[in-house]
Amino acid sequence: MDLINSKSSILGSKLRGCGVDRSNSNSKAVVLDSRNGFVKFLSNSSPSVMENKGNSQLKIVTGDAGFVLEDVPHLTDYIPDLPTYPNPLQDNPAYSVVKQYFVNDDDTVAHKIVVHKNSPRGTHFRRAGPRQKVYFESDEVRACIVTCGGLCPGINTVIREIVCGLHHMYGVTRVLGIEGGYRGFYSRNTITLTPKVVNDIHKRGGTTLGTSRGGHNTKKIVDSIQDRGINQVYIIGGDGTQQGAAVIFEEIRRRGLKVAVGGIPKTVDNDIPVIDKSFGFDTAVEEAQRAINAAHVEATSCDNCIGLVKLMGRYSGFIAMYATLASRDVDCCLIPESPFYLEGAGGLFEYIEKRLKENGHMVIVIAEGAGQELLCESLRSTDQKDASGNKLLQDVGLWISQRIKDYFSKQTKMAINLKYIDPTYMIRAVPSIASDNVYCTLLAQSAVHGAMAGYTGFTVGPVNGRHAYIPFNRITETQNRVVITDRMWARLLSSTNQPSFLSSKDVIEANKEEEPPTQLLDDNYPDKKLINTDT
């Protein structure tokens, strides 16, 4: 056996459909994974290299110049010889003017697009879109939709467009809505969803199907799917929900069921990695402007008045950051990623006092997850969690409001007036704005195209402006967070003129926590060796 260069292709330079083009049909490829000792031969009919990670097998395809495709599962991976059918879109009058009905089977989307001239091609994902062949006949499809977790603008739009996409593009007439989240599979009734039923739901906030946290019983859920004859499952929810979807997919694959599982990532905080942004985020930022504007009006109407707005963002401060940048009325923005301190030189209290003396008013935006370490230390709180496993956070808005009042009443002779606004539930319950409605339509249709084409165990989302099918593990393994050593955070500091509250030690630590490089094959899979054997 000869060790080949990690930047060389063991699978050929071009993907063909779900498989690859190889000049030597007698060769086999082996992946040695030192993390778990897993070894798999790539046979001539196998579409890609499979890597064990946890309970799932990851499909990794490599190509020339450091090309890596992190592919998603397909029904044919575990159910051989499935029949295919012509895609009904080719006879759809709405698509008659489209020059190209279908995306190319070997189209991929690059994870990183900023490269140097000698950079390897890096990690890619399979491009979303309709395929020429589908693995379901229209009259055999029995689909279901479930929504889990907290509310977010745009959920109803996604539900509507899944139903309408299945019906109008593929002629699917049997779609069920699962009420009340995951537990609705086995403890609640279902709703029959038709284009008429969902026609106006996008004009309302929340979810017409209801939602809940927890209630995930894999066996009961898959039993229900099997008993009801469901063969397409669309799951709308955040990272915890997508973890549940991955487990459901694994159980379905273990049972050998012809059921496609597709996830639509939902989080108003924009903390899901890989994808460009989450649906509902634009709406949340737009709605947050109303609260910030109200705080600014209050602050400018009284002497030494502070308008304090608490926005969503448990672990990621994107809403607070973007709302601050859009507003231009904010004097200080506090987010979970950027530590701050209250007292002493350069602290928050000193900065507030300075701005009040300069302007006579001040507007502060704080994300709900900011300053939790200070708050927990002060209140000696315990690590309690909700039904989804999320840590229950203390109300940092009320806490910091009281600390500010106490400081100015005891430490200074300055009388202040503080107005506290918490628009959390108002923001996440509103209908989505136009840009999010369009985005939700593309998400829903991409998920439908993927399921009909036989892909399963995937999450759909835009990557660098192109929709792609992303393996569940890439969505659930980490969280998208604001990089405080990035230029966007520097733009915010420049806009507000607030101090960074960072010591030189904090800056060094922040630089260490930056995302590791993902362009090189060696960086992505440092403990693998690709070996080519001739038989």
Q: Is 282 annotated as a binding residue?
A: no
312 assigned ligand-binding residue: yes
Name residues whose C-beta falls within 8 Å of residue 56's C-beta, 6 or more positions apart in sequence: 246, 249, 250, 457, 471, 472, 473
150 annotated ligand-binding residue: yes
Beta bridge partners of residue 162, listed in sequence order: none
Q: Is 147 annotated as a binding residue?
A: no
Among 32, 68, 26, 53, residue whose Cα is nearest residue 531: 32
Query: In this structure, what DSSP letter does residue 74 have?
Result: B
- Environment class of 94 (CB within 10 Å of its CB; exposed 0-12, middle 13-18, buried 19+): exposed
Per the annotation, does 269 bind a ligand?
yes
Segment holding 443, helix H or strand E? helix 434-452
The partner residues of 235 in beta bridges, in order of sequence, read: 146, 263
Sign of the C-alpha dihedral computed for residues 388, 389, 392 and 393 taken in this order: negative
Residue 237 annotated as binding site = no
SS3 373: helix
Q: Is 106 annotated as a binding residue?
A: no
Instruction: Please give the biggest Cα pair distance in the chain.
Output: 86
280 labeled binding residue: no
Tell me whether residue 479 is exposed, middle or buried, using C-beta atoms within 10 angstroms of its C-beta: 0 to 12, 13 to 18, 19 or more.
middle
What phi and psi, each to the nearest 5 degrees, are found at residue 474?
A: -70, -25
Distances (CA, A) of 160 to 146, 154, 219: 12, 10, 28
> How many CB atoms are closer than 10 A to CB 455?
25
Q: Which residue has the tokens 């939700």?
A: 440
d(CA 79, CA 131): 19
Report the amino acid identity of residue 187: S
213 marked among binding-site residues:
yes
What is the residue whose two structure tokens read 């993907």? 15
Asked whether residue 426 is marked as a ligand-binding residue, the answer is yes
360 marked as part of a ligand binding site: no
The DSSP-derived string for 463-510 is ETTEEEEEEHHHHHSS-----TTSHHHHHHHHHH-------HHHHHHH
Query: By C-alpha distance, which of 349, 350, 324, 319 is closest to 336?
Result: 319
Active-site choice (269, 271, 329, 436): 269
Question: According to the annotation, is 50 in a ligand binding site?
Answer: no
Q: Which of 36, 141, 136 is nearest to 85 (CA)?
A: 136
**207 labeled binding residue:** no
Ligand-binding annotation for 488, yes or no, is: no
**Annotated binding-site residue? 238:** yes
Q: Catalytic site residue 105?
A: no
Give the DSSP letter string of 210-253. Answer: ---S----HHHHHHHHHHHT--EEEEEE-HHHHHHHHHHHHHHH
477 marked as part of a ligand binding site: no
173 is in an annotated binding site: no
HSE, side-chain direction, 13 A CA sphere, residue 484: 23
> 454 labelled as ligand-binding?
no
Residues annotated within a binding site for substrate: 267-269, 312-314, 368, 425-428
Residues annotated within a binding site for ATP: 150, 213-214, 238-241
Residues annotated within a binding site: 150, 213-214, 238-241, 267-269, 312-314, 368, 425-428
- Which residue numbers are catalytic? 269
Residues annotated within a binding site for Mg(2+): 239
